[in-house]
Amino acid sequence: MTVLQPLAIDTGTGHPESERKRGFYLSVPTKFCLSLLLALAWVGMSIWLSLPWLDDLGLLIGAPLAIAVITFIAYVPGFMNAFLISTILLDRRPARRIPGHYPAITVLVACYNESANIEHTIRSLAQQTYPGDMTVLVLDDGSTDDSAERAGAAIADVQLSPGHAIRLLRGAHNIGKAGVLNRGLALTEDALVVTVDGDSWVYRDAIANLIERYLADPPGTRAVAGSVLVRNSRQNWLTRVQEWDYFHGIAAVKRMQSMYHGTLVAQGAFSVYDRAALEDVGGWPECVGEDIVVSWALLERGHRIGYCEDAVAFTNVPDQLSQFARQRRRWSRGLIEAFKHHPRLLVKRRLSLIFIWWNVLFLPLDLVYTLVFIPGIVAALFGYYHIVGIMTLLVLPLAVAWNAFIFRTQSLMFKRQELKVRRNTLGFINYVIAYSLILQPICVWGYLSELVGLRKSWGTK
């Protein structure tokens, strides 16, 4: 099968021709070096400012341990945030290109016990404005509720555009998300395959935008992640906080990674993949983090994964703390699985190598935050400021600048899509102050679950 090549000829997400028209062009490697230098300069300033803190903490726990603690409380997070901000400031991605012909695509909708959501997902797909042929396969994975019946009724009720079709494929037994996606992959001959979760609402032009981005991205692109945002953000305090995590944190990181040819996760909730490339890596692997593991398989073969910030799908996030914990534990387990399956990415020379090692640092970051920083907050409440004190307040200006800049970037994208950012001030306050206190310990739980080999299941997506 012929691989459908992207149309663009740029070597990065920057667009040489458009930037030359403005009289100035920086190559992607140059932008990488500038961002790296700025981030290192921030770390250097942080080290200089933290010397009194380092001396004070060293007297209490010893210099080596004090250096390790402050490194993962202050230096590493500061480097990451500074690198992210500078990268997005330098990002000049090309406009999506309208192709002369839109390729035929297959959309795989993995569904397991989505009785409350699958009808909405199907209706959103029926309303897509994609100009080419589009076949939607709703893959019921042996649901024990009435998901299949509701899906069938929705399919019979919707009006489809010419060239669009929706089919329901019922599985007699539950075989897991990877298994049901591979079943759907085997049933299509289309060059491009889009995946959508069974509880997502895909915005009207999202699939067209996603395919246009894929076709406009540099040669070697074999997948593009869409922008997944929160649909049920008004449900309670937990969903309000997650709205900011998706809108700010996840979206910003994916945009940064895509600039350097290596978005690390083309998430199963909404992404497009080259079918031949998927088949070459054996499809989705049987694991809890099937999307990150298959993404790393593509990266290991030298392919590029992009990100389309204006291909928007809204998903229902967990509204109970136990569900949230299961989801984020699964994501953390998926990261460990990715390292187990593709350790060679740790030494593969490409710009995105920094993000592989970035993910390595998540383990000690989360451990130190959970075992040191959180107890340090408790100690500060009783007047002991060795861990949390005046020095930790110095990171607040960067946090404010980071969030303000990302908010502006995302808001402009929303405006172009005729979407409006809803007011969620309380959720933002909780996101900045309390979210990590919940998230990081759960991540540590996920790492340990995978390392000791606890049982795996579909869990919460």
pLDDT band at 16 (very low <50, low <70, confident <90, very high): very low
pLDDT of residue 8: 37
pLDDT of residue 1: 38
Rounded to an integer, the average pLDDT of 43-66 is: 91
Rounded to an integer, the average pLDDT of 413-430 is: 81
Nearest to 102 by CA among 18, 241, 213, 186: 213
| 295 has pLDDT over 50 | yes
Question: What six digits make up the tokens of 220?
Answer: 């070697």
pLDDT of residue 380: 87
Look at the block and give the residue holding tokens 């990715």.
Answer: 338
Asked if 35 and 255 count as a contact pair (C-beta separation under 8 A), the reply is: no
pLDDT of residue 416: 81
Distance in angstroms (rounded) separating the CA atoms of residues 174 and 282: 20
Best-predicted range by mean pLDDT (121-135, 380-394, 405-419): 121-135
Rounded to an integer, the average pLDDT of 288-309 is: 94
Rounded to an integer, the average pLDDT of 146-171 is: 94
pLDDT band at 24 (very low <50, low <70, confident <90, very high): low
Which sign, positive or negative, has the C-alpha torsion 170, 176, 181, 186? negative
Asked if 106 and 193 count as a contact pair (C-beta separation under 8 A), the reply is: yes
3-class DSSP state of 264: coil
pLDDT of residue 291: 94
| 459 has pLDDT over 90 | no
Written as one string, the DSSP assignment of 266-318 is --TTEEEEEHHHHHHTTSS-SSTTHHHHHHHHHHHTT-EEEEEEEEEEEEPPP
Asked if 27 and 11 count as a contact pair (C-beta separation under 8 A), the reply is: yes
| 418 has pLDDT over 80 | no
pLDDT band at 71 (very low <50, low <70, confident <90, very high): very high
Look at the block and give the residue holding tokens 């040489």.
Answer: 16
The string of pLDDT tens digits covering residues 325-372 is: 999 999 999 999 999 999 999 998 888 889 999 999 999 999 999 999
**Which residues lie across from 265 on neighbouring strands?**
none
Question: For residue 193, what are the contacts with CB-CB under 8 A and spacing of at least 6?
Answer: 105, 106, 107, 108, 185, 272, 273, 274, 275, 278
Distance in angstroms (rounded) separating the CA atoms of residues 97 and 195: 22
Question: What is the average pLDDT value for the chain, to the nearest integer?
Answer: 88
pLDDT of residue 114: 92
Question: From residue 380, how far is each of 30, 260, 420, 434 by CA, in Å?
Answer: 43, 40, 40, 16
Helix pair angle (353-368, 321-341), 10° resolution: 130
Which sign, positive or negative, has the C-alpha torsion 241, 243, 248, 253? positive
Asked if 290 and 267 count as a contact pair (C-beta separation under 8 A), the reply is: no
Distance in angstroms (rounded) separating the CA atoms of residues 273 and 4: 10
